[in-house]
Amino acid sequence: MTVVHMLRHGEVHNPKAILYGRLPGFHLSDLGQAMAKAAASAVADRPIVHVVASPLERAQETAAPVGEQFGLPVHTDENLIESVNWFEGKQVGVGDGALRDPRNWWVLRNPFLPSWGEPYPVIAARMRAALHAARDAAGDAGGEAFCVSHQLPIWTLRRHMERKRLWHDPRWRQCDLASLTSFHFDGDRLVGVGYSEPAAHLVARSAAAKRARGA
């Protein structure tokens, strides 16, 4: 049995609330750093022998505590990178920002591809390659792999591996910040997928603090 853990990175410092996508220079917030440490604690008793992350800063910073915990280098796999998005660098909140501008609506013409970014099958193919590369690296060393990626790539990979249609409603993704999606293999056969949120208590605490400040 081999397990490959796919972790979504922690919260990012993003005061302008833009869709940062693949833009450089976006680092973890203080809460994001705490999330990364919580994720490391969650796998402290697992036989992690391989750590790999997306090349983006937020992913590398999220992987660092795990690498330090196990005395392992953090490798980089370009296949784990965030998906391409036409709205990168823009504010895209519902009812405001770029989505409110009719000149951008043509980009939303095909949600099944999707027309605003990297096609789902392309994301699935590169993430599957990253998954199997990590599984092979961990299996050869007799342990488990820990990968850090991004929400849409991880969710697309999960749907692909579970043989579900790739297009979906983004509001229903089960892939919160610093969440673990764990792929369990028997040899090269996927036998199960697990999900956990080791930083959920930090998110709840942060939300409560924000409500208190606004009261």
Domains (range + CATH), the chain = 2-83+119-214 (3.40.50.1240)
DSSP annotation string for 49-98: EEEEE-SSHHHHHHHHHHHHHHT--EEE-GGGSPPPBTTTTS---TTSGG
Decide if 61 contacts 178 (C-beta within 8 A).
no
> Which element (helix H / strand E) includes 120?
helix 120-140
Judged by DSSP in three states, 136 sits in helix
pTM (global) more than 0.85:
yes
Which candidate, 148, 25, 173, 169, places its Cα nearest to that of 75? 148
Q: Write the CA distances from 142 to 5, 32, 58, 187, 196, integer angstroms.
A: 15, 30, 28, 12, 23
Q: What is the pLDDT of residue 94?
A: 63
Q: Which residues of the chain have pLDDT under 50?
A: none
Q: Record the tokens describing residue 180, joined without a space.
A: 């673990």
Alpha-carbon dihedral sign for residues 119, 59, 74, 178: negative
* CB neighbours of residue 16 within 10 Å: 7
Q: What is the pLDDT of residue 81?
A: 98
Distance, in Å, from the CA atom of 30 to the CA atom of 81, rounded to the nearest integer, reads 22
Q: What is the pLDDT of residue 100?
A: 78
Q: What is the pLDDT of residue 101?
A: 80
Q: Record the tokens describing residue 121, joined without a space.
A: 């099958």
What does DSSP say about strands 74-76 and 48-53: parallel, antiparallel, or unpaired? Answer: parallel
Q: What is the pLDDT of residues 77-117, one digit of tens each?
A: 999 999 999 999 998 876 667 777 878 888 888 988 999 89
